[in-house]
Chains A and B, each alone.
Chain A
Amino acid sequence: MTYMLNVNGQDFEVEIKAHETLADVLREKLGLIGVKVSCGEGECGSCTILVDGIPCTACLMLGRQGVDHELTTVEGIGDYNNLHPIQQAFIDEQGFQCGFCTPGFIMTAKAFLDENPNPTEEEVSIAMSGNICRCGAYPWIVKSVLKAAETLRNEQR
Chain B
Amino acid sequence: MNFMNIQQVAKDRKVVGKSVPVLDAREKVTGSLKYGVDFTVPGVVHGKILRSTVPHGRVKRIDTSKAESLTGVLGIVTHEDAPDLNWMGVWDNYRGKVLDGTARFVGDEIAAVAASTVEIAEQALELIEVEYELLPAVLDVEKALLQDAPQVREEGNVRDEYVVEWGDLEHGAAEADYTIDIEMRYKSQNYAGIGRNACVCEWDGDRVTMWTSSQTPSELQSGIHEAFGMPMSNVRVIALPSGCSFGLWWSNNFMMVTALLAKKVRKPVKIELTSQECMTAVKRRHMEITRGQMGVKKDGTLTLANFSHLMDNGAYGFKTDVYFFCVDLWGGALNGNYGVRGVNTNLVTSGCMRAVGDITMGLAVERLADMCAAKVDIDPVEFRIKNQLKSGQLLRMQEPRGHMKGTLSQYLNALSDEQKQDWPKMFHLSSGSTHELLIQGADKFGWADRWKGWGVPASVNGSKYRGVGVGTGAHCCGVEFGGNTSSVVRVNLDGSINVFSACGRQGQGSETTLAQVAAEEMGVSLDRVSIVTGDTDSVPWASGSSASTTMFRTGWATREACRDAKKQLFRIASQEFFNGMPEDELDIAEGVVQVRDYPDNHPRVPLDEMMNVLCSDSLSQTSVITGRPNSVMPPTIAFARQWAAQFAEVEVDIETGEIKITDYLAGQDSGTVMNPNVLKNQVIGGAICGAGFVLYEGIEFDQNDGRILNDSLLDYKVLRSGDFPSDVEVFFVESEDPVGPFGARGAGESPAAAAGPAICQAVHNAIGVWVDVPMIPETVLKALKVKSE
Instruction: Give me the interface of A with B, judged by CB distance under 8 Å.
Output: 32-41, 43-44, 46, 73-75, 78-80, 83, 87-88, 90-94, 96-103, 106, 121-122, 124-126, 128-143
Contact = CB atoms under 8 A, between A and B. Distances in A.
B613 to A, nearest CB: 37
Interface stretch (B460-468, B701-709, B712-720, B767-775): B712-720
Contact of B684 (A80, A93, A125, A139): A139
Given A75-B30, A136-B719, A94 B21 contact: yes
Interface in B23-46: 24-35, 37-38
Nearest to B691: A136
Interface string B719-740: 1111111111000000000000
Given A98-B242, A136-B689, A91 B26 contact: yes
B506 interface: yes
25 contacts: A36-B37, A37-B37, A38-B243, A74-B31, A75-B31, A80-B27, A90-B28, A94-B19, A94-B22, A97-B508, A97-B681, A98-B244, A98-B507, A99-B27, A100-B244, A101-B243, A122-B726, A125-B722, A126-B721, A126-B722, A128-B721, A134-B718, A135-B507, A140-B680, A143-B726
Contacts of B246: 134
Contacts of B30: 34, 74-75, 78-80, 83, 87, 103
Given A91-B25, A99-B27, A41 B722 contact: no
B726 A125 contact: yes
Contact of A96 (B28, B724, B727): B28
A41 B712 contact: yes
A141 B680 CA distance: 13
A98 B245 CA distance: 9
Contact of B34 (A33, A44, A106, A129): A33
A88 B21 CA distance: 11
B726 A44 contact: no
A95 to B, nearest CB: 9
B113 interface: no
Given A94-B21, A138-B688, A101 B194 contact: yes
B678 A94 contact: yes
A136 to B, nearest CB: 3
B196 interface: yes
Interface in B654-705: 677-678, 680-682, 684-689
B689 A91 contact: no
Contacts of A37: 37, 196
A133 B688 CA distance: 10
A90 B721 contact: no
A22 to B, nearest CB: 16
Contacts of B720: 128-132, 138
A106 B31 CA distance: 10
Contacts of B712: 39, 41, 43
Given A38-B196, A125-B726, A134-B244, A102 B681 contact: no
Contacts of A94: 19, 21-22, 25, 677-678, 681
Contacts of A126: 721-722
B86 interface: no
A73 B31 contact: yes
B275 interface: yes
Nearest to A17: B119
Contacts of B196: 37-38
A116 to B, nearest CB: 15
Nearest to A122: B726
A128 B719 CA distance: 12
Contact of A100 (B32, B35, B508): B35
State the main secondary structure of chain B at its contact with A: loop
Contact of A33 (B22, B31, B684): B31
Interface residues of B, number: 60
B355 to A, nearest CB: 13
Contact of B714 (A32, A43, A93, A101): A43
A38 B277 CA distance: 12
B31 A103 contact: yes
B195 interface: yes
Interface string B172-201: 000000000000000000001111100000
Interface in B216-252: 241-246
B274 interface: yes
Contacts of B725: 139
Contacts of B714: 41, 43
A139 to B, nearest CB: 5
Among B26, B506, B507, B712, the one with the most A-chain Cβ atoms within 10 Å of its Cβ is B507
A148 B194 CA distance: 24
A1 B508 CA distance: 44
Contact of A136 (B29, B33, B684): B684
Nearest to B723: A129
A91 to B, nearest CB: 5
Nearest to B689: A136
A42 to B, nearest CB: 9
Interface string B287-330: 00000000000000000000000000000000000000000000
Contact of B507 (A32, A87, A99): A99
Nearest to A137: B681
Contacts of A73: 31
Contacts of B274: 40
B726 A97 contact: no
Nearest to A41: B712
A74 B714 CA distance: 26
A100 B685 CA distance: 15
Nearest to A75: B31
Contact of B32 (A33, A90, A125): A33
A125 B31 contact: no
A122 B662 CA distance: 12
A138 B713 contact: no
B681 A100 contact: no
Given A121-B727, A141-B721, A142-B721, A83 B29 contact: yes
B211 to A, nearest CB: 15
Given A87-B29, A91-B25, A134-B194, A98 B243 contact: yes
Contacts of A41: 275, 712-714
B727 A91 contact: no
Given A97-B509, A101-B194, 6 more contacts: A35-B31, A36-B37, A96-B507, A133-B194, A135-B507, A138-B724
